[in-house]
Chains A and B, each alone.
Chain A
Amino acid sequence: MRHKQKIHVFLLLSVSLIVIVGVFRFTPLSSQLKANYFWLNKFENKTKFDVVVYGDSRTYRGFSPNILLENTELTGYNYGFTSAGYSNETFELIRLRVDTFTDPVILLGITPYSLTLNASENKFYHQEIKREGFEKFKRLNIDRKLSFFDRVVVEEYFKPNEELVQQDYEDDGWVASSKALLDTMSGLNSYKFIFDDNQVSDSIVNLVVQHVSEWVTIGIRVYAYRPPTMNSMVSLEDNKSGFNESFFVADFEKAGGVWINIENDGYVSYDASHLQKESAIELSRSIRKYIFE
């Protein structure tokens, strides 16, 4: 074959194969392109809501504002993100998303890690908001419409579906996550060392308390809960993080916040840390009574 012919054959074959693979490939369990839109939109969207939820991955995977507010006229959004912590800029983020003309509510998912200095760096948040120019435009306007070009994750073709986590990016900021085969170890392994040289920080706790007090003063109802997880995870965190829940709750309530006590029993985690979709739905419903009833 001559080289010119080779170029033509290459173009023809490539286009044909891309179309064939794009049409016949499996729908991914977790769409990368949808995730691209979901995360950037979370921080770029300036809409105000009646209920704003904030926390780390246990919150964004484990709580659905739409389910909390079903059968109501109210609006809500889950602003949780990976390794989210507390700093002045994230307090500002939360505050600016609350619609203060209604009866606004802020709900915080408090985990020991979220109260550490490492978490307060909010690296994931910075990674997303620093996107600019065409990349930003692409993620917000093109990516979710191009699911044809979503990446194929080879794991999904080699492993049984029960071993994989399915993630659905919902429009209320919740990532509904589920896995058929529960793994009671992986989360624990990654938390074993996470608190070495990174204990719960008094300064962060004080910052939370101070902001709660300010919010309450301007008429925002502030609630907090510790996202349910496996008991073994709670013990590990209590032993290693330096988190004293009762002290924190006392300070939080003194600032005017309402602490919601959630028992771990009855909730199912797929990786010893995050809640299964069904449990997240159950939790969202159960919290409703503390806020609205």
Chain B
Amino acid sequence: MVFNSIPFLIFIALFLLFWPIFNKKNKSRWLFLTFASLFFYGWWDWRFLFLIIGSGLIDYFAGYYIPKVTWRKALLVVSLVANLGALSIFKYSMFFAESLESFFLLVFNSNVNVVESIPEFALILPVGISFYTFQSMSYTIDIYRGRLKPTLNVFHFFSFLTMFPQLVAGPIVRAKDILIQLSKKRESTDIQKWNGIKLFVFGLFQKTVLADNISEMVNKAYSLTDVSEYGFYWWIVLIGFAFQIYCDFSGYSLMARGIAKFMGYHFKMNFNHPYLSSSFKQFWSRWHISLSTWFRDYVYIPLGGSRKGVSLGLVLMMLTMLLSGLWHGAGLTFIIWGALHGVYLAIERVFRLKKINKLVYSIFVFIGVIFAWNFFRADSLIQALNISEQLFSIKGEWVFYEKFFNSLFFLVLAVLIEMIILLFRLNPQLNYRFKKVNFDVVMVVSALVSSVFLRGVESEFIYFQF
């Protein structure tokens, strides 16, 4: 069930109708939220429920017993193995099998058949598995570290783990932030409701109007198995993809935050206009913030971070970025995408590039980011390499303008919106003046009407596949 669909409209209407009744008492709130969320999730495929309930129960019991027993490390290992094991089976088994086959072919010149021995059930990728697995792991890790007290009620835990606004595509919320919010009745005020509506409608606009319209150009460009155009064309396509994926994912996060806000809960910001970043480090503090901070807190810092010297710090940073790439997708292209960002960050840190003129360096950062997006989007490594080669071709034609008029129109609109946001940031007075004349109402109405009529051809949220 996606947010921009009729079933969700019916679901949320019914949910909000009954929410005030069940919200009164803790147990009824947790129970109602859990069952509603499982219904929301099961709408995709009811079989997915077994996995989320199974892995959730393991983490609940691991968390419950960790503070009580001496073999707490073993419980943590059980939780990690269960979560990472499920992730490996459902998300990476095909990748591992294919890699193994290629390895045997290259090194021993022998054909081994691993792919065919993968059981059929492992070929189905449960929606949002990477998101809830990380969320669940952080629960047991935090309890093990003594930073969180386990919840005693299993439905309290599941209402956090399965909370439908963020279940399938984040933001990756932390148990310590959400369990406490769920532990008492929270009623949303009028301002929270209004802000919730604003966030939801702006997210809907980003997804349906900007991302879905731009995707038409990007999908067509990448659906050709061969590179048929030159450098200029591919730069435009990549800028298109940069804004498509940003509007797609940021749109989902905004909608998730909006629904939560309307219910009286607060999810942290997941995107903060990343393309306005003036360094690669800043980019990663503005792009998919909940994932970046997860990797920082549970991988990079525990391994030593930058405390153990420059060289080891760089190695750990590269490792973190590679894992981040692998988190996004089981494929070499995603690993290269992560590696590229690792290299960018390393160069930036070693050569202190941030000291270059801010505007010039911001443009450089943007170019670096969109160059890396090619690997993220490409269907194969060969395609990614072909397109990367074309990016440096100085030939260029403008004929694609005719073919992609619609997508280019919305790409320009997306860029303009980011520019306007930059203008408002640089000029706080402007923000104040617009607030005074209730300009936000006009903006939200325009965004909603645009979402109804200017929507692109429906496509699934990109991050659902992760």
Q: Is the CB of B194 within 8 A of A7?
A: yes
Whether the Cβ atoms of A10 and B197 lie closer than 8 Å is yes
Contact residues in B for A185 (Cβ distance below 8 Å): 399
Interface presence of B454 (CB below 8 A): yes
Q: How far is the CA of A25 from the CA of B448 in the complex (A)?
A: 16
Is B402's CB under 8 angstroms from A186's CB?
A: yes
Q: Is the CB of B190 within 8 A of A4?
A: yes
- A194 to B438: give the CA distance in the assembly, Å: 53
Do the beta carbons of B399 and A193 come within 8 Å of each other? no
Q: How many A-B residue pairs have CB under 8 A?
A: 90
Bound Cα distance A213, B7 (Å): 48
In the bound complex, residues from chain A placing their C-beta under 8 Å from that of B5 are 134-135
B residues 395-439 touching A (CB-CB < 8 Å)? 399, 402-403, 405-406, 409-410, 438
* Contact yes or no, B454 A193, CB < 8 A: no
Contacts of B457 in A (CB 8 A): 32, 151
Option from B402, B406, B438 in Cβ contact (under 8 Å) with A154: B406
Which of the 9-residue segments A14-22, A65-73, A89-97, A168-176 touches chain B?
A14-22
B444 near A10 with CB under 8 A, answer yes
Contact check, A189 vs B405: say whether CB atoms are below 8 A apart: no
Q: How close is A142's CB to chain B, nearest CB, in angstroms?
A: 8
> Is A158 engaged at the interface, CB distance under 8 Å to the other chain?
yes
Query: How far, in Å, is B402 (CB) from chain A's closest CB?
Result: 7
Count of chain B residues near A, Cβ 8 A: 35
Known: A7-B194, A13-B441, A118-B225. Is A153-B6 also a contact (CB below 8 A)? no
Enumerate chain A residues within 8 angstroms of B227, measured Cβ to Cβ: 193
- Tell me the residues in window 47-73 of chain A with beta carbons closer than 8 Å to chain B beta carbons: none
Complex CA gap A4/B193 in Å reads: 9
User: Is residue B224 contacting chain A, with contact meaning CB distance below 8 A?
Assistant: yes
CA gap between A240 and B167 in the complex, in Å: 49
Question: Are A151 and B228 in contact, CB atoms less than 8 angstroms apart?
Answer: no
A159–B405 touching, CB < 8 Å = yes
Establish whether residues A18 and B406, one from each chain, have CB atoms under 8 Å apart when the complex forms.
Answer: no
Whether B453 sits at the interface, judged by CB under 8 Å, is: yes
The residues of B that contact A7 with a CB separation of less than 8 Å are: 190, 193-194, 197
- Residue contact A189 to B190, C-beta cutoff 8 Å: no
**Cβ of B452 under 8 Å from chain A:** yes
- Distance in angstroms from B203 CB to nearest chain A CB is 15
In the complex, the chain A residue whose C-beta lies closest to that of B442 is: A13
| B413 and chain A: residue at smallest CB distance | A154
Residue on A nearest B452 in the bound complex, by CB: A18
Q: Do the beta carbons of A17 and B445 come within 8 Å of each other?
A: yes
Interface residues in chain B, defined as those with a beta carbon under 8 Å from any beta carbon in chain A: 5-7, 43, 189-191, 193-194, 197, 224-228, 399, 402-403, 405-406, 409-410, 438, 440-441, 444-445, 448-449, 452-457
Inter-chain pairs besides A14-B448, A163-B402, 16 sampled, C-beta below 8 Å: A2-B190, A6-B441, A10-B441, A10-B445, A13-B445, A18-B448, A25-B453, A152-B453, A154-B405, A155-B409, A186-B402, A186-B403, A189-B228, A190-B224, A193-B228, A196-B226
- Show 26 A/B contacts (Cβ-Cβ < 8 Å), sorted by A: A3-B191, A4-B194, A6-B438, A9-B441, A10-B448, A13-B441, A13-B445, A14-B448, A17-B445, A18-B453, A21-B449, A21-B452, A25-B453, A118-B225, A134-B7, A151-B456, A154-B406, A155-B405, A155-B406, A155-B409, A185-B399, A192-B228, A193-B227, A193-B228, A194-B224, A194-B226
Sort A-B residue pairs by CB-CB distance and give the 8 closest, nearest first: A3-B190, A3-B194, A193-B226, A193-B228, A13-B445, A4-B190, A152-B453, A17-B449
